[in-house]
Structure formats: C-alpha cells, structure tokens
Amino acid sequence: MRLVRGPLVRRRRRHGLREALDRGARLTGSGTPPTTGVVIVNWERADLTVRAARAVLDDGTADRVVVVDNGSTDDSLAVLRDALPEATVVALPRNGGFAVGANAGVRRADTDVVVLLNNDAVPAPGFVAALRDHLAAAPPDVAAVTGRIVLAGRWTSLPTGAAPTPGARVLRDHAGRAWTPSADGEERLNSTGVVIDRDGNGADRDWLAPVERVASVDVFGASGGAAAFRRTALDDVGLLDESLFMYYEDTELAWRLRRRGWRVQYAAGAVVRHDHSASSGVASALFVRRNARNRLVVALWHAPWGTVVRATVRTVGRIVRCGLAGDGREARLVAAALADVLGHLPRHLVRRRHETRRASVPRRAVDPST
C-alpha cells in the first residue's frame, strides 16, 4: 500500500504547488497592485504598537491594518481601540505567543499580500509599498520578501577585553564583539533576512553590519518582524507554527516554504528601524529557554541529521560552558530546553516524517549550511 500511495501523494503535492504558483503568476501579471494587509501583534506594549501602526496608517499604502492584542492584562486593548480607529483591532483571550497572534491577524486581513511588522519597529515611508511592489514584480515562486531592518539608535563597538558600562545595553555581533549605544556611534543593521548555519542556528543576515551593506536579493528566509508574504504561498504551506510560542517561527516557516519549492527575496528599499528586543529582552528567561528549545525543534523537524547532531552537541556544550563559568541560571534554562525536546522526542520525530511526506524538495537540497 505504501508503494502505491507514495507517488500519488507526491503528484498531489506537486499539483497543489503548481496551482499556487499559477495563482501567484496571475497576481504578478494582473497589472494592478495586489491588496495588502499589515499585521501587528501587541502584548502589553500599546505605546510601541500605536507608534508602529500609526506610521503604517499615515503612510496610506496598506489596504488594511490589523492589530492583534494577544491577551494583554493591562489597558492595551482600550488604548489601541482609542488611538487606532482606522485599524481593525482583534482581541484574543490569552497570550498564545507571537505565532498565535500573527496567524489571527493574517486570517483577519484577507488580502493578497500580508505584511508582518514587529510592534517595536517603526517603518520608513514607503515600506509597505516597497515590499508589495517587489513581490508583485517577482517571479511567481517567490513566496516572501523581507525588508531591511536597521537597529534604532547608534552603536559603538568596545575594544577587545573592555567591560561595558554597568547597566548599559550590550549587543554582540557574529564575531563576538560587544556593541553599546552611543550618541556618536554608527548606524548598524539588524537584519537583511534569515540565514541558518551548519549547527541549525537561525540568525539575522548582516547582524550589526554597516548600514550601507549591500546584500544579495536571494536569502534563505524572511524575518517575521518586517516581511511580506504571498497569500497563495501561505495557503500552500500553512501559517506560522503556533507550538513554538515565540522565536524561530520565521525560520521554521522558511524551511517549509523552501521544501515546497518556494523562494524568498530581500528588498533593500523596504526599511524599518527596530528597537531590538524592546518587547521581551534577549536576557529574559523566556528568550533563553525558548530560543534554545526552538532551535533544536526546528532542526529536528526539517534539517539533515548531521545538522541535528551538531545542534544537540552544541547545546550540551553550552550547558557545560555556562556551568563552568558559574552562570548557573543560563545552564539551567538551556538544560530545561534540552530536557523538553528529549522528553517529547517521539512527537518531534512524527512531525519530521510528516514534513518529509509533504515536501517536494529534499532537505539537503534546501539546507544552505551543507
């Protein structure tokens, strides 16, 4: 039975993708701009969300702006409804994580193109139009376009071995150098898209690179904080994975898109300024544990086995290093993340088989780290 069903299932998968591409081609060649909706998720930071949504509304390009309040327990909902009468405000009963909020907004937007925008990001004029127009002009197999995310403020790198000012914000680039805010510093990039390395880490391409960096148009994935998606592509592969709760949702979606034959591109003219981690914080227990867990989970679902092994070894090494360095808090959080993944390993292996069955492109043909 399995030998008979396999080819039929593969033909259905290819047929479904062809239909999605045909719909995308009709949209691309229609001559009229696709309808565009912008989705912004709020959780107890109405001040940031109003700022982001107001910039989109005042720009006047989006056909619809959907603001999703993700179960805030403060006065966010009242503030949003009062400050953004032109927007559609959706109230969820509880905080189910970023993916739950974003998916609710995507469903409510009901437009040809859906833009996801972080609430702690401020779009420059023309941001939505740049994403929409790039996607409309792109080949029909381009599922998403990611924008150019610039870090808010100015930043200065510290000399090697220098200690930052107590209490100062510190960001580290891919080489490990520390950067702190400085009035006479430089503008730096946050992201030009999502990439993955051979250990399964999802990362922002061009993180802390000079703001004038020229990046290639093609990129592995789109940043969920500033990107536009074709509705047809989302119909084909599904929305963000809500079980991840927070972090790595965009990387996981990129894997699904890639394994179904879709591509992602970068639009340098679609600019936002991002107050990095203003909504959560990279030192929070939520970030440390969820980031460590979801990196392993996404690798298990989608990456070649070599990447899964390296990701696991790296996680164990991180626990040991933190323990030896006296950082018991981080060691415990990462160990808890690893225990969570191992405790649900059978379920993750079932998901891996499911992704294999529905994919039309092999893992190794997708993974840019191999």
> For the whole model, what pTM was predicted?
0.89
Per-residue pLDDT band for 8 (boundaries 50, 70, 90) equals: very low
30: buried, middle or exposed (CB in 10 Å: 19+, 13-18, 0-12)? exposed
- Regarding whether 165 and 293 lie in a shared domain, the answer is no
Number of domains present in the structure of the chain: 2
- Regarding whether 150 and 219 lie in a shared domain, the answer is yes
- HEC secondary structure over 309-356: HHHHHHHHHHHHHHHHCCCHHHHHHHHHHHHHHHHCHHHHHHHHHHHH
Is residue 119 pLDDT above 90, yes or no?
yes
Tell me what pLDDT residue 226 has.
97
Residue 280 domain-assigned? no
Q: How far is CA 347 from CA 20, 172, 326, 343, in A?
A: 29, 35, 34, 9
| Mean pLDDT to the nearest integer, 83-106 | 96
- Regarding whether 256 and 137 lie in a shared domain, the answer is yes
pLDDT tens by residue, 266-275: 999 999 999 9
Residue 61 domain-assigned? yes
d(CA 269, CA 148): 7
Between 66 and 25, residue with greater pLDDT? 66
- Regarding whether 108 and 33 lie in a shared domain, the answer is yes
| Mean pLDDT to the nearest integer, 215-244 | 97
Per-residue pLDDT band for 253 (boundaries 50, 70, 90) equals: very high
- Among residues 250, 274, 298, the one where a domain terminates is 274
Is residue 236 pLDDT above 80, yes or no?
yes
Tell me what pLDDT residue 12 has.
46
Q: Token pair of 95, please?
A: 């905080």
Residue 24's nearest CA partner among 146, 199, 143, 172 is: 143
Task: Tell me the range of 11-20, 269-278, 352-361 where mean pLDDT is highest.
Answer: 352-361
Tell me what pLDDT residue 261 has.
97
Q: How far is CA 370 from CA 57, 140, 199, 366, in A?
A: 43, 27, 10, 9
Q: Are 6 and 356 in contact (CB under 8 A)?
A: no
Is residue 241 pLDDT above 90, yes or no?
yes
Q: Token pair of 120, please?
A: 């702690």
Domain harbouring 108, CATH code:
3.90.550.10
pLDDT tens by residue, 131-164: 999 999 999 999 999 999 999 999 999 988 777 7
The conformation of residue 35, written as its DSSP 8-state character, comes to P
Domain that holds residue 155: 9-274
Spacing of C-alpha 43 from chain mean position: 17
